[in-house]
Each structure stands twice: as C-alpha cells, then as structure tokens.
C-alpha cells in the first residue's frame, strides 16, 4: 500500500495494485480515444489543504478527525481551461449531499490552473456500496445529474505533476466550471474514463487512502489507548461549518496524511455505519453520569472475538459468523441531533443516578443523557460489544442471530450494591445485523420503553428501560409488510438488567438441525459451554454455586430447575394481567427469568384466550393461551442445549417435575388474590376461576376492568345494590357491533373451500398450505359470527346478564366460605386491600401507546412522559391527574382506565 512507501511511477502502481478491473462500464457510450496514462512522479508532501474530513468522538471524549485522500497516479489532460472562484459547501456537516472543495489560494504548488469539480454523495453509505473504502469504486451510478459543487485544481498538460485529492466516498462525479455534468463511463484495467457527448474530459487512475484518526486537540490517533494527559474535551465546539472551520483544520489533519505517507502510521479502513453523524459533538465528558463505575465481568469471563488489529475496524460492522466467542466488539453509530424523549427515574435510580430537580440543571442533564444514551459518546469504562446467540424462531432453528440491533455497554456497580448491565438498543449495526441497519425507530422504541417500566410496576420480572432518545436520522420501514414503506426516526433505548443472556445463548453450540440444516457458530466447543455455565451460575445463581461447588452435574441440574421455576412463575404472572409477549422464540427467553425483548406485545382488552397480538403470527403459535406451553417447549430446547454438561434425561425429568406444578401453583395463588380469597384455599377455586374466564369470554368482557370492578362486589348486599353492580359489570362487556367486528371471517371463501377439500383428500398437502388448527379456528369463527348475526342487542344483553348472574352467585357463595368465623369488617378490609394490590387499573393497552407514539412523531413527547407516570402507579384506585386520554376529534376525553375506543381493535402490531 502506498501509505507505507510512495509510488513514483505508473509501472510501480501496476505492480502494487495489479491490472484487474475495479468496476463495470456504465457510461453512455465508448470512450472515443483512450488515453495512454502518463507516468507521474508523486510528491512527498501534500500540495492542497484539507477542506473535508470525517469527524467523530472517541471513547475518551476527544473530537477526532480523519483524512480521506485519493492520489491521481496518471491522467489525461482536460480540454477545459476555464477558471472559477473557489467556495466551501457546508452541507457536509449536516449529512446532506456534500460538495468537496479545494481552496484555490493554497494550491499554488501545482503548475497551471486547470480545474475540475468533484461531487461526493453521502447517500452512498446507505446503499451498501461502501465495502472497500481503500479503493475508489467509480462508476457505481450513471445518469445521475448533480448541480455544480466545489472545485479542485489539478496538473496541466504543460506541467504533468500529479495532485492529491480529498474524497469522502467512493462515488465521484465530475463537473466543469461551465456546469456540464460528466459521468464515469468505464472503469477497467485501473483506468477511469469520463465523457461529455464525446469530448474526452479526464482519464485517470486513483487510489483512496484513509489516515488514522487524529485527535484535533492532542494529536493522538489510537482510539483504544489511554487518554493523553492534558487532553481536554470540548474541542469540537471550535469547528463550525464554513470558512473559519476550514482554516482551523489545515494543519493537524494534514500531519496525519504526512504520517501515513511516510509509513509511520498504519492505515485504518472501516465501513461507515448508516445514519452516522458528522455533526460536531460538544462537551463529551460526562457530568451527571460521571459517577457510573463499570466493571465488565462478562467480557472478562466469557470469550470475546479477537480482532487482529485496528486496521480491521470494519469488522465492527461487517456481518459474519462469529465462531468460538460469546461477544464481538462493536461501536455505536452516532446519530444526528439526538433528543431525549423520556427518562425513567426509578430505573436510573438502580444505577445510583438522581436527575436534578431544578429547571436550570434539568436541561443540561437531558442534553447529557441524550448524548451518552444515544451512543454519540461513550462513558468512561464502557466497552461496547454485541452478544452472539442463536434461537428457535416459530419452532424452527434459525442458526446464528445475535445482537443485531443492541449493544452491551458494560456493567455498572453502584455504591448501593448490585450489578447492572447497560445495553443500547438501536445504536447501529453489529456483526449480527445481517442485512439490517441495526436501528430501531421511534414507534417501536416508545413501546419497549413504556412496557418495560409498566411490567416492573405491575410486579412482573422484567428488564428495565432507563431512557429513550430519538434523533434527526431516519430509516425506511415497511410497518405492515404491505409495500408501503415510510421514513421513521432512528431511536435508541437504554436497557438495564442483571444480564441479557438468554436461552439462545447456549444454542450457539448446536449441531446441524435435521429440519433446517443450520448449526450454531460454535458447534463442538463444549469448553465454552462449560465456561458459560460457570459464569452464569456463579454470577446470577451464587447460592446454587455455593451449595454444589464440588459436583458440577448436581449444580447444573439445580440451575436448570431454578430457571424452570422462574420461567413458570413469570408466564403465570403474564397470564394474570392479560399480557401477550408475541414473539416467544428461544432467543427472547431470559436465562434469569425476566420478561425480555418487547416487540409486538399486547395486553388483552376483550378477553379472548386465542388472542394473537403479533399480526405476523398467522398460525397463532404464540397466542395468549399457548404461552405457558410455548415457554415449556423453549425450556426443553434449553435442556438440549446444555448437553453434555447436563444429561438430557436429567433435564427432561426436571422439566416434567417442575414446570406444570410451579405454573399451576403460582397461577392459582395469584388468581385467588385477584378474587380476594384471602383466608381459605379450596380445591374448587380452580374451577371457579375457569368458569369466570369462560363467562368473560362468551360475554366479551374487558379483562383488566372486570377484575378491577370485582373488588367493589359485596356479599350479603341488598338486591338493588347487586343489581347496580351487575349493570356496571355488563357495561364492561363487548357490544354486538364489537363482537361482530372481532369475529369477522378471516379466510376467503374459496380458500376455505379448498382447505376443507384438502382436509378430506390430502391432509399432508394441507399441512403445507395451512393447518388443522387454523382451519378449526376459522370454522368456529364463522359459526360464532353466524349466531351473532341472528342476535339483537337486547337478546345479547339478556344472555350476558344470565351468564354473569350465575357466576356471581357462585362467587358470593365462595366468599362466604372465605369469611368463616372472622370479623366481617376485618375480613372485608383485607379482602379489598388484597384485590386492589393485585388488580391493576392501568395497563399499557395498544391504543394508549399509539396515542403517545403519534404525539411523539409530531415532536410532542409530553404524552410519553404522562403515560409513563400513569404506569408507575398501575394499582392506584384514585383517578390521578392526567389519567385521561388526549382530546379527540369529538372534543371528548376518555379515561385511560375506561374500556378502549372502537378504533383500538383495528390497531395492528407486527
């Protein structure tokens, strides 16, 4: 590479770079007179000043810049002899299509004054053509017209001396001072040709060079090294778009180019991440966050993929298999104009953080949170990495998955005790991003942020969310996969948990799957499996490690037993608040029994055991009623993944012994509390709960509000009081219109007819186009819809009244048994207290989240923050201020504790 030793002739260039073609001919027509490249003596010192560079913030808070330079190794004289004034285009700093300009006043070292323009397009980085920044990829696009941009000086025919050019990306379009636009017409045998209606413009051979990163304050270039003594932060504030900024950068960055050319500094080649920010980052030294102390045990005790050296920085983003490692190094891609959407003070308190209460400091705190929790700057001690895991998705082994849109930052150990892993979700690409961009959008990030905190305050084991930060960067998303994509804002969520390891973390060792043929990237590495078990048990199950320190198999069995119990209790809690996860793949199951990875989740409105919250789950695999069964299936896959450290027969025996028993025990205990059965436990309680759910199903009762309302039911009350209560209960039932909408047939009649014929004649073929279960559901739906069509509203009301009257009689009799010989007033007080503590008044219904999302997409984050405060007190029986939904087009406000509006049923989440 010529960064190590100068190339002085065309023949030397050919010997170094070879004669293979770099691109394809994309021009309008053949170049009429191919020029013979003239040998050029290349200068040792740069002749032109820097006018464009890359800039970012180092992990130590310094403002770094890097030179991107291209050398003209040979050229054909340009026929145009016009002269133009030079100017600086500042659009580069805001991420628009930039112009690369050269300052004429500093170009006197080059003979002659022939000029041409170079126009660089930032959008190339979003189109997947940035694979080789060390080679110019000319000719990637043809026919694109651009306006006249900046200008550069080059050698004239009378003085054939090569010039040095500064480029920002592989795509180069040439423009004359007269405004004529030229395209790359061919790139073969290391020669570039340009044309304008047959007039030869330029033929040259270029090579792009990336210098090492250079700190504009202290000159350091090692991103991974210690922060230099005396190097202060905030240097970026000296650089502004325009002439003053350009003048300030003419010395230090060129020193880096000179060092590269002399061979004293290595070349760093990297792939630029989508939506990265060239904008200036101010003061990158934390103030409010300075007290966070990192101790990154996971990266010490688990294998991390080794990168050969800094020249392999591209590996931080390059998708690839990652064998023999649990983590790969990563680096957040900065965002333009990060802006705080909301903070969760209870979650941040886990880290020992307390946001300032005074308005003067609150703005500074929010700006700092936006900067560091977006990934635009790294906290001292943070070590970004991406976790490698596999998973069974919808029942099929998918092979390597990994953190494609999340990054481990490190583990914070607050003074109050504990250890919390910090993770940025949506911070940019990692080696596990596959063909995706590593970004999350405002819509999905608000949902995850709010639901993480809502679940915690409901008392359900969950990961936490400390902050939600959006930006001016956008990505394209097709929300419903219907061919209607739109631009959405890139957003990052700060997630907090003891660990984000999951069942799929142990599936990286899986051998080739008999159905999919896929295997884990670390198949056969039993040593890493044992190492991971030691780490997980020692870190998160220390009592098990202490009890079985001398017997690893007993220890591993005890570990699997505890994971099984925690998972059973977690899913029982879900069922008792009507929560549907939506994507219960093995890679979305926490190894410490937490609810993790909030995607197309949902809370039940109208009770329906077959409710599917994920519109992508056409087969209903992850429906509400199937969640316990699926969690047990996932535990079976975990047991398989632990072999041979835990024999499969031992794991299966533990699963059979523990899961169903623990789930039923915890579920029934929770349901007794929801019904206020506080003194006596009877075998008949399970049947009472089942009949309640059946009554709720046939009447279409609202799940959350029905349980909440039952706390006001009184045994032995007068007939008028009971009648009034029954009327309140009937108001929580679905109307005839709602039921008809909900039970609309989903299959086309011709499709249904075909499936019915296949079910009789060729069941095997039916399995390829559908399933017996989906066919049965459709037939039942049609039958129910047909019955509803024959009902009147009054008949529906009478039917619902009969169902609820019968169940309330059973419930009243059971409550009398629970009272026993106790003081009635004492029992009643305890009964109501227990019911209020176990029946939430507020859950994150989809329409509540949607209201917050729509406001935020319009720049108003107040609804997100208001909903967050509401969800922090879900069991509050008093109507807190702000509990009403935003005023709609009707001019009316409804309470967020009321039944959802009709339009809520039309919301679709994928």
Say how far apart CA 371 and CA 467 lie, in whole Å.
Answer: 11
CB-based contacts of 209, cutoff 8 Å, min separation 6: 2, 3, 67, 68, 69, 70, 71, 134, 257, 260, 267
Residue 493, strand partner residues: 425, 468
CA distance 756 to 763: 10
The dihedral built from the CA positions of residue 874, 878, 879 and 881, taken in this order, carries a sign that is negative
DSSP 848-872: HHHHHHHHHHTT--HHHHHHHHHHT
Q: DSSP per residue over 331-342, as a string?
A: -PPP-SS-EEEE
Cα(114)–Cα(158) distance, integer angstroms: 10
d(CA 675, CA 690): 12
Measured in degrees and rounded to the nearest 5, phi and psi for residue 521 equal: -70, -20
626: number of Cβ within 10 Å = 17
Tell me if 97 sits within 8 A of 146, measured CB to CB. yes
C-alpha distances in Å from residue 548, one per residue of 543, 552, 554, 555, 652: 9, 7, 6, 5, 20
> 289 — phi, psi (to 5°)?
-95, 5
Partners of residue 57 on adjacent β-strands:
63
- CA nearest 354: which of 345, 341, 344, 364? 345
Q: Which region holds residue 438: left if phi is over 0, alpha if psi is between -120 and 50, else beta? A: left
Helix, strand, coil shares, percent, the chain, to 5: 35, 15, 50
Nearest to 196 by CA among 308, 31, 314: 31
The token duo for 651 is 């794991």
Choose, from 268, 587, 597, 605, the residue flagged as catalytic. Answer: 587
Q: Which residues pair with 412 in a beta bridge?
A: 294, 420
User: Helices (H), strands (E): how many in the chain?
Assistant: 23, 24
Please give the Cα distance from 334 to 424 (Å, whole number).
12
- 268 catalytic per annotation: no
* Residues β-bridged to residue 548: none
Query: Within a 10 A sphere around the Cβ of 646, how many other Cβ atoms?
Result: 23
What gap in Å lies between CA 733 and CA 890, rounded to an integer? 23
Quote the tokens at residue 855: 């406001």
For residue 608, which phi and psi values (nearest 5 degrees)? -145, 110
- Give per-residue burial for 556-589: e unless 16+ CB within 10 Å, then b: bbbbbbbbbbbbbbbbbbbbbbbbbbbbbbbbbb
* Burial 47-85, CB ≥16 within 10 A → b, else e: bbbbbbbbbbbbbbbbbbbbbbbbbbbbbbbbebeeeee
CA 149 to chain CA mean position, Å: 37
Helices 552-577 & 627-641 angle (0-180, nearest 10): 160
- Please, which residues have CB within 8 angstroms of residue 860's CB and are 6 or more apart in sequence? none
Positive or negative CA dihedral for 401, 404, 405, 410? positive
Phi, psi dihedral angles at 801 (to 5 degrees) = -60, -40
Dihedrals phi, psi of 205, to nearest 5 degrees: -120, 125
Q: Mind telling me the catalytic residues?
A: 587
């Amino acid at each position: 590479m010529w960064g190590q030793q100068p190339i002085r002739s065309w023949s030397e260039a050919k010997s170094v770079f070879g004669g293979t073609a770099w691109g394809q001919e994309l021009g309008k027509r053949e170049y009429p007179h191919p020029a013979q490249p003239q040998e050029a003596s290349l200068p040792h010192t740069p002749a032109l000043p820097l006018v464009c560079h890359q800039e970012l913030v180092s992990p130590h808070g310094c403002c770094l810049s890097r030179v991107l330079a291209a050398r003209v190794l040979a050229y054909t004289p340009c026929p145009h002899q016009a002269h133009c004034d030079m100017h600086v285009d500042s659009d580069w700093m805001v991420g628009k299509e930039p112009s690369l300009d050269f300052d004429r006043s500093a170009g006197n070292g080059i003979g002659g004054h022939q000029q041409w323009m170079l126009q660089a397009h930032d959008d190339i980085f979003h189109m997947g053509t940035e694979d080789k920044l060390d080679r110019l990829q000319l000719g990637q696009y043809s026919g694109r017209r651009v306006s006249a941009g900046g200008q550069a000086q080059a050698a004239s025919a009378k003085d054939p001396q090569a010039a040095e050019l500064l480029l920002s990306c592989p795509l180069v379009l040439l423009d004359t001072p007269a405004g004529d636009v030229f395209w790359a017409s061919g790139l073969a045998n290391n020669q570039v040709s340009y044309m304008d209606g047959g007039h030869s413009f330029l033929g040259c051979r270029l090579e792009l060079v990336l210098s090492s990163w250079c700190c504009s304050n202290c000159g350091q270039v090692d991103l991974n090294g210690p922060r230099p003594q005396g190097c202060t932060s905030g240097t970026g504030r000296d650089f502004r778009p325009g002439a003053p900024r350009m003048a300030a950068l003419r010395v230090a960055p060129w020193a880096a180019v000179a060092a590269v050319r002399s061979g004293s500094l290595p070349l760093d080649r990297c792939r630029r991440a989508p939506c990265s920010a060239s904008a200036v980052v101010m003061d990158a030294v934390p103030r409010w966050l300075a007290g966070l102390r990192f101790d990154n045990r996971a990266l010490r005790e688990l294998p991390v993929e080794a990168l050969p050296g800094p020249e392999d920085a591209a590996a931080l983003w390059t998708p690839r298999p990652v064998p023999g490692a649990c983590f790969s190094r990563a680096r957040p891609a900065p965002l333009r104009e990060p802006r705080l959407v909301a903070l969760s003070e209870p979650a941040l308190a886990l880290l020992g953080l307390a946001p300032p209460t005074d308005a003067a400091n609150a703005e500074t705190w929010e700006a700092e949170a936006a900067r560091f929790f977006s990934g635009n700057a790294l906290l001292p001690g943070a070590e970004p990495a991406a976790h490698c895991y596999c998973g069974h998705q919808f029942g099929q082994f998918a092979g390597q998955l990994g953190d494609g849109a999340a990054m481990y930052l490190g583990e914070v150990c607050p003074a109050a005790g504990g250890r919390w892993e910090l993770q940025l979700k949506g911070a940019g690409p990692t080696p596990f991003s596959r063909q995706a961009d590593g970004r999350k959008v405002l819509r999905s990030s608000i949902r995850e942020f709010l639901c993480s905190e809502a679940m915690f305050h409901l008392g359900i084991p969950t990961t936490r969310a400390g902050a939600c930060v959006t930006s001016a960067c956008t990505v394209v998303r097709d929300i419903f996969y219907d061919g209607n994509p739109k631009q959405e804002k890139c957003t990052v969520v700060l997630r907090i948990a003891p660990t984000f390891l999951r069942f799929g973390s142990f599936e990286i060792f899986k051998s080739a799957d008999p159905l999919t043929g896929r295997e884990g990237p670390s198949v056969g590495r039993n040593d890493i499996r044992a190492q991971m078990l030691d780490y997980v048990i020692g870190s998160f199950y220390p009592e098990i490690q202490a009890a079985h320190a001398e017997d690893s198999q007993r220890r591993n069995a005890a570990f699997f037993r505890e994971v099984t119990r925690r998972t059973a209790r977690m899913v029982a809690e879900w069922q008792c608040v009507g929560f549907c996860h939506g994507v219960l793949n093995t890679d979305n199951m926490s190894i410490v029994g937490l609810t993790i990875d909030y995607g197309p989740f949902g809370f039940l409105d109208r009770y329906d055991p077959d409710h599917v919250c994920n519109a992508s789950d056409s087969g209903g695999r992850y429906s509400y009623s199937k969640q316990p069964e699926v969690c047990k299936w996932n535990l079976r896959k975990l047991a398989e993944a632990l072999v041979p450290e835990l024999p499969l027969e031992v794991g299966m025996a533990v699963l059979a012994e523990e899961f169903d028993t623990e789930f039923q025990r915890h579920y029934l205990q929770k349901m007794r509390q929801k019904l206020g059965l506080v003194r006596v436990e009877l075998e008949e309680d399970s049947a009472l709960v089942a009949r309640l759910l059946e009554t709720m199903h046939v009447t279409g009762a609202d799940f959350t509000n029905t349980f909440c309302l039952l706390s006001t039911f009184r045994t032995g009350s007068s007939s008028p009081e009971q009648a009034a209560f029954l009327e309140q209960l009937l108001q929580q039932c679905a109307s005839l219109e709602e039921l008809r909408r909900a039970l609309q047939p989903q299959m086309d009649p011709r499709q249904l007819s075909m499936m019915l014929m296949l079910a009789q004649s060729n069941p095997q073929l039916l399995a390829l186009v559908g399933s017996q279960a989906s066919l049965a559901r459709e037939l039942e739906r049609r039958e129910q819809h047909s019955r509803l069509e024959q009902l009147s509203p009054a008949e529906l009301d009478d039917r619902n009244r009969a169902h609820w009257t019968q169940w309330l009689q059973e419930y009243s009799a059971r409550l009398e048994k629970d009272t026993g010989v106790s003081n009635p007033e004492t029992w009643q007080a305890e009964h109501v207290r227990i019911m209020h503590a176990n029946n939430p008044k507020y859950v994150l219904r989809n329409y509540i989240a949607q209201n917050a999302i729509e406001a935020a997409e319009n720049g108003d984050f107040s609804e997100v923050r208001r909903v967050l405060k509401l969800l922090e007190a879900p069991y509050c029986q008093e109507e807190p201020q702000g509990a009403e939904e935003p005023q709609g087009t009707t001019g009316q406000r409804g309470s967020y504790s009321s039944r959802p509006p009709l339009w809520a049923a039309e919301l679709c989440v994928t």
